[in-house]
Structure 1
Amino acid sequence: MHKILIVEDEYELALNIQEILINLDYDVVGIFNNAIDVLDFFIDGTADLILMDILIQGDLDGIDLCYKLKDKLNIPIVFLTAYSDQGILDRISKVVYDGYLLKPFTVESLKSSIYLALEKPHRSANSKPLPPTKNTLKIRDKGFLVPVPIYDILFLKADGLYTKVYTKTKTYVIRDILKDVLGDLPSSSFVRVHKSYLVNIKHINSFNSKELIIEDHTIPIRRGFYKELHQLTEIK
C-alpha cells in the first residue's frame, strides 16, 4: 500500500482528501499545514508521494518546501492549488514536480494524478532511486546554511579567492573561486560568458557582441562568444 503525505492549509479539505485516499486504498501517513512539520516528519518518517498545497502556513510556501525536499529526497510531489496566476505558474515551472491539480478537483482527476506520479518508470519498486535533482545552491551566510533556489540566481562574479552570487533580492559571498562553484550549478542553465562571470541564461534580457543585460546589471562577454550565446538563448 502506497504511503501519501498531505500538506494542506485547509484542515477540512485535508480530511476530505484523506477520506478519498483511504477509499482508494492509499495509506495517509500524515496531514500538515506548514513546512517545518513536514521537514521534521522526514527526519524519521517516509512517504511514497506528497500532495502539496502551495499557500501553506509559515515563511515557506509549498513551492519553497518542494525545493528543499527535492534536494534530499527522490519523492514524487503533486501540487494542489486554487491559484493559477502567471507568477505561481512561473515558479512551479522551475522546480521538479510530478503533477498539478487546480482546486476544486474531482476524485477521478486526483486518482489519475497520483497514479501517474507513482507509476513513472523510475518510481518502480524494482529500480534503484535516482539521485535527487539539485534545485538549490547551499550558501553559508552569517553562520547559517542558506539553500538558495537555482532559478533565483542571476549570475556569479569572480572576486579574487571568493565568488559573489547575485540573486533577485540579495548578494552572497562564497569562499570559493568561480571555477569550483561552476560544478555545483546545472550546465544547461549557467554559462561562463567571461573569465569573471557565470550567468543564468534564463535571466538574460538582451545582449550584443560585447555585453549582456540581466535586470540592472551589465556584464561583459568574451570575444567571439556572441554567436554561441545567440544559439544558447534562442533569441532571434
Structure 2
Amino acid sequence: MKKILIVEDEKDLAENLRDLLEALGYVVVKVFDQAQFVLEYLKTEAVDLILMDVMIKGSMDGIKLTEEIKKSHPIPVVFITAFSDQGVLERISKGKYEGYLLKPFSLQALKSAVFLALNKHAILEKDLEGASKNSLKIRDKGYVVPVSQDDILFVEADGLYSKIVTIQKTYVLRGILKEISKNLDPKKFVRVHKSFTININQVTSLNAKELVIGEHIIPIRRGFYKSLLGLIKLN
C-alpha cells in the first residue's frame, strides 16, 4: 500500500483528506503543518507521495518546502491550495511537482491527482533506472555527471585513480582500473592491458601489439590479439 504524507495547516481539511485517502486504499503516515517537522521526518522515514498545501505555518511555505525536499528526496508532490492567482501559479510551475489541486476539490479529482502523480513517478523511475544501467556516474567539479557508456572510449589506470576518456572530454575518477571496470558493460568493455580497459565499439584498427581508438594508440597485452579480434567489429 502506498504511503502518503499530508502537509496541511487546516486541521479539519487534513483529517478529511486522511479519511478520503484511506477510503481510496492509501496509508496516511503523518500530517504536518510546518516545514521543519516534514524535513525532520523525511530524514528517517520514506513516503511514496506528499500532498502539499501551499500556505502552511512557519517561515517556509509549501512551494519552498517542496524545493528543499526535491534536493535530496525523489518524492512526487501534489500541491493543494485555495489560491489561484497568477503569482502562485507561476511559482509552482517553475518548480518540480507532479500534480495540482485547487480547493475545494472533489473525491474524483483527488483520486485522479494522486493516481496520476504516483504513475508518472513510477514511469520516471523506470526510465532513470534504465538510463543508469548504461551510464557511469562521475563526480566532476563538485557535481555528479552521468556519462553514457557508449560515449566512453577507454579507461586508463593512473595510480589510485582512473582516467575516463570520452568522446567529449577526459574525467579523473578515484578508484583503481579493476574496480572501475566492474561498473562497465562487459559486452562493450574489455581489459586489453594492465593499464587499459577499452570500448570495443570504438576501435578503428589494430594489430598484434596495439589498437587505435580515435587519435589514441593503446597497447595490447601479449597473446590477446586473436581473442580481441574475435570481439571487435571494425567499422
- How high is the TM-score relative to the length of structure 1? 0.53
The 3 A distance-change label for structure 1 pair 119 and 23 is: same
For the 8 Å contact 1:5–1:49, the answer to whether it is kept is: yes
Give the distance between the partners of 1:122 and 1:22, measured in 2 at CA: 25
For the 8 Å contact 1:3–1:26, the answer to whether it is kept is: yes
**1:105 matched residue in structure 2:** 105
Paired residue type of 2:89 = L
The 3 A distance-change label for structure 1 pair 123 and 27 is: farther
Moved over 6 A (4+): none
- Alignment pair present for 1:22 and 2:22: yes
For the 8 Å contact 1:53–1:62, the answer to whether it is kept is: yes
Paired residue type of 1:59 = S
**Larger of the two Rg values belongs to structure:** 2
CA RMSD of aligned residues (A): 2.4
Aligned-pair identity in percent equals 48
- Alignment pair present for 1:46 and 2:46: yes
Name the SS for the 1:31 alignment partner: strand
- How high is the TM-score relative to the length of structure 2? 0.54
**1:88 matched residue in structure 2:** 88
The 3 A distance-change label for structure 1 pair 129 and 95 is: farther
Name the SS for the 1:66 alignment partner: helix
**2:74 matched residue in structure 1:** 74
Q: What is the total number of aligned residue pairs between the two structures?
A: 134
- Alignment pair present for 1:122 and 2:132: no
Name the SS for the 2:42 alignment partner: helix
Give the distance between the partners of 2:47 and 2:83, measured in 1 at CA: 26
Deviation at 1:128, TM superposition (A): 3.8
Gaps of 5+ in 2: 133-140, 145-235
**1:216 matched residue in structure 2:** none
Question: CA offsets, 1:29-78, max 9 Å, x none?
Answer: 10000100000100111100000000000000000000000000111000
**1:9 matched residue in structure 2:** 9
Give the distance between the partners of 1:129 and 1:31, measured in 2 at CA: 34
For the 8 Å contact 1:122–1:130, the answer to whether it is kept is: no
The 3 A distance-change label for structure 1 pair 13 and 128 is: same
Gaps of 5+ in 1: 132-179, 185-236
